[in-house]
Structure 1
């Protein structure tokens, strides 16, 4: 686990590791007084107290997160986590496999739409990696 004595610092470290520094920098730059406390809450709680735990690997957490987001139909967050999955060791084959589970347990429409979103997000991540624009690697099968 990261520095448990400072969940914000631990959360920022994990958030950068998983989502990439460029994404976190953009998110931090777009904060306003309206959402500053909410952003701190997310960083401390989701990233600093859950993702920073060492009981599951980053890959396992990524796959669980993708399945939950697809099940809930949270497509913007789902696409972001598909793109980030390459930073956790989650492959395109892993995502396809977990989406088969989503289709069985959450319904074929959710699985179908998730496959559509994931295909686009994986292609986008691969194009960015090939162009060297994100510096964080592409998605592999």
Structure 2
């Protein structure tokens, strides 16, 4: 029988990559294990694993929310994950245009700068491969 934790771990790996999940699990300590369990079960097992909307749509909403809230570390993680979700760079700019209107130009401006840096790094890595 598949548990919520199993589903969450699988979805998290599909979106963020198995290497990220492996690093997160390896770095888990007794102190933060309850938090890791919470995000694996709730965010990844329950919310991200629902089949009511696509991973692309969830990715765009997540990027917009993280940008609007100024959560740069998580935003960077989700920007790097777009190849795994089906979201495109065009989708990202559309989401960030909404951030500009509904959450503020400074938040969107900063998020666009971060996205440009991440995409340039991804392009450079692709060119060197």
TM-score normalized by the length of structure 2: 0.94
Aligned equivalent of 1:47:
44
The number of aligned residues is 129
Q: Which of 37, 52, 56 is the matching residue for 2:53? A: 56
Unaligned 5+ segments in structure 2 are none
Q: Name the structure with the higher helix share.
A: 2
Unaligned 5+ segments in structure 1 are 133-141
3-state secondary structure, aligned to 2:81: helix
CA RMSD of aligned residues (A): 1.3
**Structure 1 segments of 4+ aligned residues over 6 angstroms from their partners:** none
Displacement of 1:26 in angstroms is: 0.9
Aligned equivalent of 1:70:
67
Aligned equivalent of 1:100:
97
Offset from partner CA, 1:89-125 (integer Å, 9 cap, x none):
1111110111111101111101100100111112223
